[in-house]
Structure formats: structure tokens, C-alpha cells
Structure 1
Amino acid sequence: MMELFFKDFIMLWSTIDPVGTLALFTGLTARLSKSQKRKVALKATTYAFVILLSALVLGQIILKAMSIQLISLQLAGGIILFLFGLQMIFSDPEEGTGSREPGHQLAVFPLAVPSIASPGAIMAVIVLTDNNMKTFTQQAMTAGAMTSVLLITCGLMLIADRIFRVIGHNGSAIIIRVMGMILAALSVELVMTALGVQRWMS
């Protein structure tokens, strides 16, 4: 069972990508206060947990009922990532700082979705808990591995203040645009994989 837990942990670590989420969190919340950053980190992790747990329990049932293939999630996620990547590259980082609850929207999008609860992570939890192949105990182990990765992700975001003191505001602006380019490139990879372009080119 520990071997199963470790394998699931590695796959979920790769798809949730706590280090990549930390880089995105660092750039997007650099202008928020310490308490606001903490709220964003906790909210983003909570929202992502609810989304991934829902996908784990209900994802396969809903997709089958709607006749939706798993690969469609990857294609849709790639399009969303590309649009947000463009927004990060060309928008003014100062925009949106006057909302009634600063950082609330960041916790929902893009941190909870599609960064933490990414299309890859959603697909992973659905595949790893295949109702036709996995027992309830095995599915519980996968849920435990998912929770562990999310707790690590939250912990990294909570200590991000140390990073802010090093990079400053100018550094955060650079990170936002660099992450936008990375997200745009990643979105193209997701779309190409979903459409099978890489297979045709190989």
C-alpha cells in the first residue's frame, strides 16, 4: 500500500506542481499584505482541495454521464491557460488592487484553478481512482496522497514572504510576465497533446 501511495504522490506532485504554484503565487501576491497573502494561500488550497476531491469522487461518473472524454479536459485547460498567460504578459499588475477583498479573485483564479487544481491534476485523480479497477482502500490512499501534496503546496505559499523580501516589486513584475510566457507555452503543449499533434510529428 505504501508503494501505491508513493506512486500516486509522485504523479500528483507532478501535475499539481507545488513549486510552480509558489512561483505564480510569489508574483501575483507581491503587493498584498502579509495577512492577505495568508488568506489567499489558505483559500486557494481549500478551493483546490474541494475541486480535486469532487473530481476524485464524482468525476468519472459525471464524465461518463455526459459522454465527455478525459482528453477534452486537457484541451479546455490548455485554452484557459493560454488566455490567462496573455493576460499576465500584457496587463498592468496594478490593476484590480482596489477590490473590496484584495486577493480573493486570485485565490480562485488562477491559483486554485488552473494552477493547483490543474487540468492534469483533475485528470490524474480521476484516472488514479478508476472505479472499475481500484478498491475503496486504494482510492482512499490516493486521496491521502493528494491531501499531502496540497498541504505541502500551502506550506510553500505561507513562507513566500521570505521570497518577497528578496525580489521586491520590480522582481514581482518580472516574474508575472515570465510566468505568463511559461503558462502560454505550457498551454500550447497541453493543446498539442490533446490533439495528438506531438504523436503525428514524432
Structure 2
Amino acid sequence: MHADHLIKDALILWATIDPVGTLAIFAGLTARLDQKARFRTALKATLYSAIILISAVLVGQLLLSAMGIRLISLQVAGGIILFLFGLKMIFGNGAGEDPSHAEEGHDIAVFPLAVPSIASPGAIMAAIVLTDNHTHPISDQLGTVMVICLILGITFLFMLAAAPVIRLIGNNGASILIRVMGMLLAALSIELVFEGLNLFNLLQLPS
């Protein structure tokens, strides 16, 4: 595998997985959890994301084709779900609240951290496109999987770095951060939907 191919894949996956943005989201979502709970949440979110992205590499194209689902539809759906969660954070019912009052059966490591934050629609699409069986040999696909695992490892380390940030801002700062991140999540979700709709419109244009 050529180094320039690895670098290109790494840049695309870094932009779509966005470890820095995940750090900010993680800090807001886990502001009221203790250190052990934050570690477990970060670890589970990383593992879940790895499973999702590697599964996308292995069976993503086949599954979406079999179900008649386009990647654009996946992006729009992820944006709508993310918008609803952002609203919950803004109005005080987000996952950053006291975990003892969390919705039963809801694990923030799964949603919204693993999906759609880390394994975002963009990251899933990138994983599928960068490992397209029709254009990339097996060696290139294995290299891309290694790059995915490396960036997820960096994302995990970034999430662990949220602890000193939370200690610095305190409880009041944490409450503000939760709502600010809710607004940013809502804005990001709208961008995802608009981007998907724009791509859809482009595909509908006559050649």
C-alpha cells in the first residue's frame, strides 16, 4: 500500500470521525459522571464505534444495496436523530444530567457518542467508499481498517482528556457546557441534513 493512499485515508477519516469534536461532546455529556464512569463510557463508545465502522467496511455496501438504502438517506436520518438529542440537551433532559435519572436502557456510549458522533454518517460513508471492493484491493482495505483503528484509539485518548476540563469548569460550567454542546449538536445535525439534501438534488439533475 502506498503511503500517500494511507495519508489520504487518514485525513478523510480524521475529518469525519473528528476526535477533537468528540472530546467537546464527551465533556458535555459526561460532565456529571465520576471518573470511572467516564472511562467506561469512553471505552464502550470506542469499541462500539470500531464494531460499527469495521462492519461498514465488511458488509456496508452489500447491506445498503440489499435494502435499497442510499448513503445519502443514512446521513439525513442521522442528522434528524442528532437534532432531537441536541434539543433534549438544550432543554435540560440531556444525557449529561445525573445518571441516576437517565432514561432506562439508554447508554450514552451508544447514542449519541458511538452513533452518530464518532461513527457518524460521514464516517460510515467514508469507511464504505474508501474500501470499495470495485476500486480498492484487499491490501488497501486492510490498511484503511488499520487507519480507522488508529484514529479511534486517538479519539479514546482525547475523551479521557475530558476529565481535567470538567474539573476546571465545575458544576455550573458543566451545566452551561451541556447546553452549548446541545446547540452545537443541533447545528451539526442541520448541516448533515442540508448536505444530504444537496447531494440528493445534485443526483437528480439531468446529465
Aligned residue number for residue 186 of structure 2: 184
Contact residue 29 and residue 37 of structure 1 kept, 8 A: yes
- Alignment correspondent of 2:156: 154
Post-superposition offset of 1:192: 1.2
CA shift at 1:104, angstroms? 7.1
Whether contact under 8 Å (2:72, 2:200) holds in the other structure is no
The alignment's TM-score, normalised by the length of structure 2, stands at 0.89
Q: Secondary structure at the match of 2:136?
A: coil
Give 2:56's aligned residue. 55
- The alpha carbon displacement at 1:96 in A equals 5.4
Q: Which amino acid aligns with 2:73?
A: S
Q: Distance in 2 between matches of 1:13 and 1:26?
A: 19
1:198 Cα offset (Å):
10
- State the Cα distance separating 1:195 from its structure 2 match: 1.3
Distance 2:62 2:14 in 1: 24
What is the alpha-carbon distance in structure 2 between the residues aligned to residue 153 and residue 184 of structure 1?
A: 21
CA 1:154/1:3 → structure 2, altered by over 3 Å: closer, same or farther?
same
Tell me the distance in 1 between the aligned counterparts of 2:67 and 2:105.
34
5+ residue gaps, structure 1, are none
Q: Give the letter aligned to residue 42 of structure 1.
A: L
From 122, 137, 140, the counterpart of 1:138: 140
CA positional deviation for 1:91: 2.2
Q: Is the 8 A contact 1:82 1:184 kept in 2?
A: yes
Unaligned runs of 5+ in 2: 203-207
Aligned residue in 2 for 1:91 = 92
Are residues 1:73 and 2:74 paired? yes
State the partner residue of 2:205: none
Inter-CA distance 103–144: structure 2 relative to 1 (3 Å threshold): farther
User: How high is the TM-score relative to the length of structure 1?
Assistant: 0.91
Superposed CA RMSD in Å reads 2.2
| % identical aligned pairs | 56
- Could you tell me how far 1:197 is from its partner in structure 2? 8.1
